[in-house]
């Protein structure tokens, strides 16, 4: 979200309901009793489970409300709490016919069939778009009277169609190399938007179908089928109980596809462990049939993927080419960030006095915003001042700032303040009244951007708890409830969905809430997602909770990897192609496209800046110099010859410049007279003064 502006939600609001179930086993970790506030005891040298247990199971100590958006039958009988930002949300929003990116395939769960597409691509100056065509559909000759989402977990969603005498069910599993339909006394019907130019046979269990768009699809049946052809429709001769799978063969992959067609993934269990500064994220694919499954991995996954064997098949997606791997388990090993409260180097002694003077001038700032987003930004900005005061040794100013912060947070976290409520329809914490108004608080009541908003709260609360453990203990349940809202790791929490925003497969988060978009899910501000998981890690650090600290760091590490892969563009790392890639940054990553834009305007400083703010010590990890050395000149080129930008944004542009030239940035910062409400003169000077010289 930008300084001083409101996000415009251009969307049709639909009704949805669902349940996420990330399956993991093990027990939660503990922290040594002698750990000092603001530190964690590393504990025994073994792997600590991160996703096995909930962060809490008590009801939020907030008033209960019902939501203004009721679920529809597309979500079947799944009980609350419901996912609100999942990759598969479009399956049950609106008509349920908007596309979902399973990767590598886009699919639509239409009223009578599953439509499958290996998307094309259109590259323009300000967007890259996946094009959808009905390449191949798996349906039935019998009429279907309804459909619903019947199951899902961290890496899959299952849709079921039913008729009077027949039914069919499709497991949609991330990275699936084949689309699968399970038939129950239903007559398979295969169709395409394209003309079928040839089929090798109409009898048997394997069929090679060539289309006039140049694609070749291979169909695999679990039992013999007799097909009849009528134009571009293939229909079985009788009702069938079994599975039919379809996979595209881009050329030369037929033998590989044949070898693994009998291993059908139907879902997955996601687990994670940490040891020291290393974590492993594990996908255990649930497989029926025989053999090892053939799956497709994204570029960012291939960098850290073990326990799977590469195979000779690549397919294009909006996120670059996916490559095939064979195996029922994936282990993704991540190095966990170690940056905590301060920059990894001290303040430049020559600039320390200026930073200290700015801190004194900034110390009487107080949060005044009434909505959770801008309040959160203002509160976290105070947190930065307090931490900089700690580092400078100015305990008096740091204490004054914390007093302001303590008073401000009380209005949101103390019982009876009525700023926040517990929505029992979806299962979440929202701003009071926003659950009835999709336009209030930037759609926050409809679950847009919760991780952005509450990440700021977590950061501010961590700063208080670091210096005042008694405050942390007194407010632990209230703050942890916000953490549970955005980062609940377990289906055993009865009040919050599992990982509301995090997509373990894509690696990054989704922000869009229960709004239907034709381009499916989206996330704009990658940096505010980073801030959310940084705030969670610091909350664990401040409260001596090793598991929360490591959980935050795992979320942070995976988000960073995907941001570097899918938001940041260099000449050496270009997934999108010219002319789009000349901008060097993506403004909004959607499931089916990327935009050089924001929801609040197209100014270059908005698009670049929203991928950077807020500047904190973890920004070291977010903004590598190798990227900035290409991004900053691109931004300057787009700003050249235009009117001066607002100082609120100018401050962030200067901080961006400081990564390349701290001396020039220091001079530029001296001319600033105002700052974004999530920033300050103190923080700007501190950032510049802690850059490598």
The predicted-structure confidence for 264-286, as pLDDT tens digits, reads as follows 999 999 999 999 999 999 999 99
* pLDDT score of 424 more than 50: yes
Is residue 128 domain-shared with residue 256, that is, in the same domain? yes
Query: 409-448: buried (b, 16+ CB within 10 Å) or exposed (e) per residue?
Result: beebbeeeeebbbbbbbbbbbbbbebbeebebbbbbbbbb
Q: Is residue 369 part of a domain?
A: no
pLDDT at 693: 80
pLDDT band at 418 (very low <50, low <70, confident <90, very high): confident
Q: Is residue 57 part of a domain?
A: no
pLDDT tens column, 297-307: 999 999 999 99
pLDDT at 549: 98
**What is the CA angle 589-591-593, rounded to 5?**
60
* pLDDT score of 585 more than 90: yes
Is residue 261 domain-shared with residue 281, that is, in the same domain? no
Q: Is residue 289 part of a domain?
A: yes
pLDDT at 415: 84
The answer to whether the pTM exceeds 0.85 is yes
* pLDDT score of 250 more than 50: yes
The number of distinct structural domains making up the chain is 2
Q: Is residue 609 part of a domain?
A: no
Mean pLDDT of 539-566: 98
Q: Provide the H-helix boundaries in 227-315.
A: 254-260, 299-302
Is residue 210 domain-shared with residue 304, that is, in the same domain? no
* pLDDT score of 653 more than 70: yes
Nearest alpha-carbon partner for 178 in 247, 273, 263: 247
CA distance 409 to 485: 18
Mean pLDDT of 653-667: 98
* pLDDT score of 6 more than 80: no
Mean pLDDT of 525-537: 98
Q: Which of 38-42, 150-154, 244-248 has the lowest mean pLDDT?
A: 38-42
Mean pLDDT of 77-89: 95
pLDDT at 122: 98
> CA-CA distances (angstroms) from residue 289 to 186, 249, 271?
20, 21, 23
pLDDT at 417: 82
pLDDT band at 43 (very low <50, low <70, confident <90, very high): low
- Residue numbers of the domain that contains 154: 104-265
pLDDT tens column, 176-222: 999 999 999 999 999 999 999 999 999 999 999 999 999 999 999 99
Is residue 205 domain-shared with residue 246, that is, in the same domain? yes
pLDDT band at 416 (very low <50, low <70, confident <90, very high): confident
CA distance 383 to 379: 6
- Cis peptide bond N-terminal to 614, omega within 30: yes
Is residue 206 domain-shared with residue 232, that is, in the same domain? yes
Is residue 260 domain-shared with residue 280, that is, in the same domain? no
Supply the DSSP symbol for 128: E
* pLDDT score of 119 more than 80: yes
Dihedral through CA 340, CA 341, CA 345, CA 347, nearest 10? 170
Three-class DSSP labels, 348-415: CHHHHHHHHHHHHHHCCCCCCCCCHHHHHHHHHHHHHHHHHHHHHCCHHHHHHHHHHHHHHHHHHHCC
CA distance 97 to 7: 26
Q: Is residue 292 part of a domain?
A: yes
Is residue 119 domain-shared with residue 245, that is, in the same domain? yes
**Percentage of residues in the chain with pLDDT exceeding 70?**
94
pLDDT at 15: 24
Is residue 115 domain-shared with residue 190, that is, in the same domain? yes
pLDDT at 39: 59
Last residue in a domain, options 226, 244, 265: 265
**Percentage of residues in the chain with pLDDT exceeding 90?**
92
Strand partners, 283: 270, 330
The token pair at 208 is: 């090679």
pLDDT band at 30 (very low <50, low <70, confident <90, very high): very low
Is residue 247 domain-shared with residue 141, that is, in the same domain? yes
> CA-CA distances (angstroms) from residue 417 to 255, 382, 410, 422, 432?
64, 21, 8, 13, 10
Mean pLDDT of 677-685: 98
Is residue 108 domain-shared with residue 248, that is, in the same domain? yes
pLDDT at 36: 56
Q: Is residue 22 part of a domain?
A: no
Here the CATH number for the domain that contains residue 211 is 2.70.98.30
Is residue 157 domain-shared with residue 184, that is, in the same domain? yes
- Cis peptide bond N-terminal to 226, omega within 30: no
Q: Is residue 209 part of a domain?
A: yes
pLDDT at 542: 98
* pLDDT score of 1 more than 70: no
Is residue 283 domain-shared with residue 189, that is, in the same domain? no
pLDDT tens column, 312-336: 999 999 999 999 999 999 999 999 9
Q: Is residue 551 part of a domain?
A: no
Pairing of strands 233-236, 263-275: unpaired
């Amino acid at each position: 979200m930008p300084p001083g502006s409101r996000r415009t939600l251009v969307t049709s609001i639909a009704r949805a309901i669902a349940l996420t179930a990330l399956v993991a086993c093990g027990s939660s970790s503990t922290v040594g009793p002698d750990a000092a506030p603001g530190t964690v005891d590393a504990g025994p040298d073994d792997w600590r489970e991160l996703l096995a247990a909930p962060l809490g199971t008590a009801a939020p100590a907030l008033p209960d409300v019902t939501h203004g958006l009721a679920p529809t039958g597309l979500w079947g009988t799944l009980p609350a709490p419901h996912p609100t930002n999942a990759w598969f949300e479009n399956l049950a929003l609106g008509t349920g016919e908007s596309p979902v990116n399973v990767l590598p395939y886009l699919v639509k769960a239409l009223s009578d069939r599953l439509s499958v597409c290996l998307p094309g691509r259109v590259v323009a100056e300000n967007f890259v778009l996946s094009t959808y065509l009905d390449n191949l559909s798996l349906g039935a000759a019998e009429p279907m009277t309804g459909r619903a989402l019947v199951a899902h977990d961290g890496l899959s969603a299952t849709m079921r169609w039913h008729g009077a005498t027949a039914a069919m069910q499709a497991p949609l599993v991330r990275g699936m190399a084949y689309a699968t339909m399970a038939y129950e006394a239903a007559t398979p019907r295969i169709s395409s938007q394209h003309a079928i130019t040839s089929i090798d046979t109409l009898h048997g269990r394997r069929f090679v179908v060539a289309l006039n768009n140049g694609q070749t699809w291979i169909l695999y049946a679990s039992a013999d089928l007799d097909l009849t052809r009528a134009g571009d429709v293939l229909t079985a001769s009788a009702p069938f109980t079994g599975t039919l799978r379809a996979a595209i063969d881009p050329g030369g992959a037929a033998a590989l596809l044949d070898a693994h067609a009998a291993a059908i993934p139907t879902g997955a269990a996601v687990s994670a462990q940490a040891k020291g500064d290393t974590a492993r994220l594990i996908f255990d694919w649930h497989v029926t049939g025989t053999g090892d499954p053939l799956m497709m991995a994204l570029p960012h996954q291939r960098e850290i993927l073990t326990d799977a064997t590469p195979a000779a098949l690549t397919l294009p997606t909006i996120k670059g080419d996916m490559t095939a791997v064979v195996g029922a388990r994936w282990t993704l090993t991540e190095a966990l960030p170690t940056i905590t409260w301060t920059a990894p180097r001290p303040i430049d002694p020559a600039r320390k006095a200026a930073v200290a003077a700015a801190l004194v001038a900034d110390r009487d700032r107080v949060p005044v915003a009434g909505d959770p987003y801008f309040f959160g930004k203002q509160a976290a900005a105070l947190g930065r001042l307090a931490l900089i005061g700690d580092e400078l040794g100015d305990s008096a100013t740091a204490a004054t700032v914390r007093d302001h912060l303590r008073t401000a947070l009380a209005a949101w976290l103390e019982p009876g303040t009525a700023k926040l409520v517990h929505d029992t329809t979806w299962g979440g914490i929202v701003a009071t009244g926003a659950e009835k108004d999709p336009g209030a608080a930037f759609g926050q009541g409809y679950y847009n951007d919760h991780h952005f908003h509450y990440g700021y709260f977590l950061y501010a609360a961590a700063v208080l708890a670091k210096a005042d453990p008694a405050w942390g203990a007194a407010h632990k349940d209230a703050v942890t409830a916000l953490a549970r809202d955005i980062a609940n790791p377990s289906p055993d929490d009865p009040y919050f969905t599992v990982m509301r925003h995090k997509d373990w497969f894509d690696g990054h988060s989704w922000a869009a809430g229960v709004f239907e978009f034709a381009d499916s899910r989206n996330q704009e501000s990658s940096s505010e997602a980073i801030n959310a998981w940084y705030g969670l890690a610091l909350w664990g650090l401040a409260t001596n909770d090793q598991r929360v600290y490591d959980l935050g760091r795992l979320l942070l590490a995976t988000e960073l990897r995907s941001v570097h892969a899918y938001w940041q563009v260099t000449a050496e790392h270009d997934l999108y192609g010219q002319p789009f890639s000349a901008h060097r940054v993506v403004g909004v990553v959607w499931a089916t496209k990327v935009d050089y834009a924001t929801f609040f305007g197209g100014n270059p400083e908005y698009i670049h800046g929203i991928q950077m703010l807020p500047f904190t010590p973890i920004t070291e990890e977010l903004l590598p110099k190798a990227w900035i050395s290409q991004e900053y000149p691109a931004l300057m080129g787009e700003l050249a010859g235009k009117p001066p930008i607002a100082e609120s944004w100018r401050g962030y542009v200067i901080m961006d410049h400081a990564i390349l030239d701290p001396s020039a940035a220091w001079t530029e910062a001296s001319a600033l007279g105002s700052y974004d409400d999530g920033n300050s003169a103190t923080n700007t000077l501190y950032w510049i003064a802690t850059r490598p010289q």
